[in-house]
């Protein structure tokens, strides 16, 4: 009888551990993310969108859409970190409901930062143990710089951050 109780208790504890386990680990940036006024999706068909809703800091409503490719460079299940290269090709930009030929997304350069046809080179990084907002980050350099930062932690021109749905932050 005692063995049955121990076995039943062990199975219940194991089921609880599995049910309350870590969130899924990322070897791919694919998914939907949101943080504040920004939401973005990296879809499995290789397309993406980034949508910015009007806010006190930036009153514009814009959507940037296109295609992307990525590599998976590193992951560590124990510390829940995964990252790799991402190349994003801009197909369309919509600004306040109308098609736009360019969009400034940084204060770094005068003139247009991105436009349809531009390619943004950068990094994607997912950090599961981040307790502040923005577990998924896209660190992109605008076309004016023409390069990918050397490392995933290097400074960049445009950071897009978000959390998976229901993650809060």
Query: What are 51-99's pLDDT values in tens digits?
Result: 999 999 899 999 999 999 999 999 888 888 999 999 999 999 999 999 9
- Decide if 147 is inside a domain: yes
> Residues 28-37: what's their mean pLDDT?
94
- Decide if 104 is inside a domain: yes
**pLDDT tens digit sequence for 106-149:** 776 666 789 999 999 999 999 988 777 789 999 998 766 778 88
Q: Evaluate whether 159 touches 138 at the Cβ level (below 8 Å).
A: yes
- Decide if 169 is inside a domain: no
Task: Assess whether pLDDT exceeds 60 at residue 18.
Answer: no
Task: Assess whether pLDDT exceeds 70 at residue 155.
Answer: yes
- Decide if 2 is inside a domain: no
Phi-psi bin for 35: left (phi > 0), alpha (psi -120 to 50), beta?
beta
> Residues 26-44: what's their mean pLDDT?
93
- Decide if 131 is inside a domain: yes
| Domain span including residue 46 | 26-162
The pTM assigned to this predicted structure is: 0.79
The CA dihedral of 145, 118, 50, 131, to the nearest 10 degrees, is -30
Predicted pLDDT of residue 11 = 60
Task: Assess whether pLDDT exceeds 70 at residue 24.
Answer: no
Half-sphere exposure of 62 (CA within 13 A, CB side): 17
- Decide if 43 is inside a domain: yes
- Decide if 12 is inside a domain: no
Least confident range from 26-35, 80-89, 101-110: namely 101-110
Q: Tally the domains of the chain.
A: 1
- Decide if 96 is inside a domain: yes
């Amino acid at each position: 009888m005692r063995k049955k109780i121990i076995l039943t208790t062990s199975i219940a504890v194991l089921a609880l551990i599995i049910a309350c386990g870590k969130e899924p680990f990322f070897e791919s940036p694919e998914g939907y993310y949101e943080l504040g006024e920004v939401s973005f999706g990296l879809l499995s068909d290789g397309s993406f969108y980034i949508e910015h809703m009007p806010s006190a800091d930036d009153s514009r409503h814009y959507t940037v859409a296109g295609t992307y490719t990525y590599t998976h460079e590193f992951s560590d299940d124990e510390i829940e970190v995964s990252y790799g290269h991402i190349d994003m090709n801009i197909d369309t930009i919509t600004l306040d409901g109308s098609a736009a030929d360019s969009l400034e997304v940084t204060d770094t350069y005068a003139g247009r930062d991105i436009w349809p046809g531009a390619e943004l080179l950068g990094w994607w990084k997912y950090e599961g143990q981040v307790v502040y907002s923005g577990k998924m980050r896209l660190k992109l350099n605008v076309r004016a710089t023409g390069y990918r930062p050397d490392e995933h932690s290097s400074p960049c021109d445009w950071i897009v951050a978000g959390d998976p749905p229901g993650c809060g932050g």
